[in-house]
Each structure stands twice: as C-alpha cells, then as structure tokens.
C-alpha cells in the first residue's frame, strides 16, 4: 500500500511541477534572470527525482525497468536509487550514454520523461516571452 501512495504522490508532484510552467504570472518578465534560472532548476530537479522514484518503486514491486551494461552485484537500496536518478537525468536531459537501457514498462516511462525533457525549455521560453509581451 505504501508503494502505491508513494507512486501516486510522486506522480502528483511531477504533474504539479509541470503545471507551474503553464500558469500565468509565475515567471518574471525577464527571460534571463536568477529567479527564472532557480525556478527552472527546481522544476528539473523535481521531475528528475520524481521519475527516479517511479523507477525504484516499480522495481521494488517486481517490474524490471532497465538493464545495465556494467551491473554492480552488491548494490543496496541507496546505490540502486542513485542508479535510477542517474538514468532519470540522462533520459530527462536527452543524453542517453547507452550504459543503461530501459526495458518493459520502463521504455514507455522513459519516453514520457524524454518528451517532458524536450518540452520544458520550449514551454519555459514561450511563457517568458508571452509574459514579456503582456507588459
């Protein structure tokens, strides 16, 4: 039960973080500013950690999410979570080093995460430009 609550809460946080991009008046008129950089950084961090949690929760429930090229045989939960955070980061930022590949349902989740990673910068810039034009 705790796994489903954690999964639901994590998905909720991801959605609410993404929602902030599309709400008017949450970004100052300046496109490049410290506030905008911090805002964008926290959006990325929230999504990165959120997807890392989704991956680890699903693995804990018995789903195979990814396959590693060089697996570590004695990984504990913290090391495993670190691996999923790394996988989440390279997926979100569209780097894809190739040392970890998603399998099964992990492929679909990774596609959603990559799509979000592609659209955040465009949405952020569009919102900042729209906010500047309104002034």
CATH number at residue 93: 1.10.287.70
Comparing CA positions, the residue from 3, 5, 111, 13 lying closest to residue 62 is 3
The whole-number pLDDT of residue 131 equals: 64
Distance CA 31, CA 37 (A): 9
Count of H helices and E strands in the chain? 4, 2
Q: Could you give the CA distance from residue 91 to residue 83 in angstroms, rounded to a whole number?
A: 12
Backbone angles phi, psi at 67, to 5 degrees: -125, 135
Digit-coded pLDDT (tens) for 20-47: 666 655 455 445 566 777 888 888 999 9
Pairing of strands 66-68, 100-102: antiparallel
Checking if the pLDDT of 87 tops 60, the result is yes
Structural domain boundaries, residue 21: 2-134
How many domains does the chain fold into?
1
């Amino acid at each position: 039960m705790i796994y489903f609550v954690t999964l639901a809460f994590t998905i909720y946080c991801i959605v609410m973080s993404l929602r902030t991009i599309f709400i008017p008046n949450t970004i100052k008129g300046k496109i490049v500013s410290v506030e905008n950089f911090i805002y964008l950084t926290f959006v990325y961090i929230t999504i990165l950690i959120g997807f890392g949690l989704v991956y680890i929760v699903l693995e804990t429930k018995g789903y195979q999410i990814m396959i590693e090229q060089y697996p570590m045989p004695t990984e504990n939960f913290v090391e495993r979570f670190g691996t999923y955070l790394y996988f989440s980061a390279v997926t979100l930022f569209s780097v894809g080093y190739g040392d970890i590949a998603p399998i099964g349902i992990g492929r679909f989740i990774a596609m959603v995460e990559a799509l979000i990673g592609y659209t955040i910068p465009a949405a952020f810039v569009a919102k900042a430009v729209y906010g500047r034009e309104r002034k």
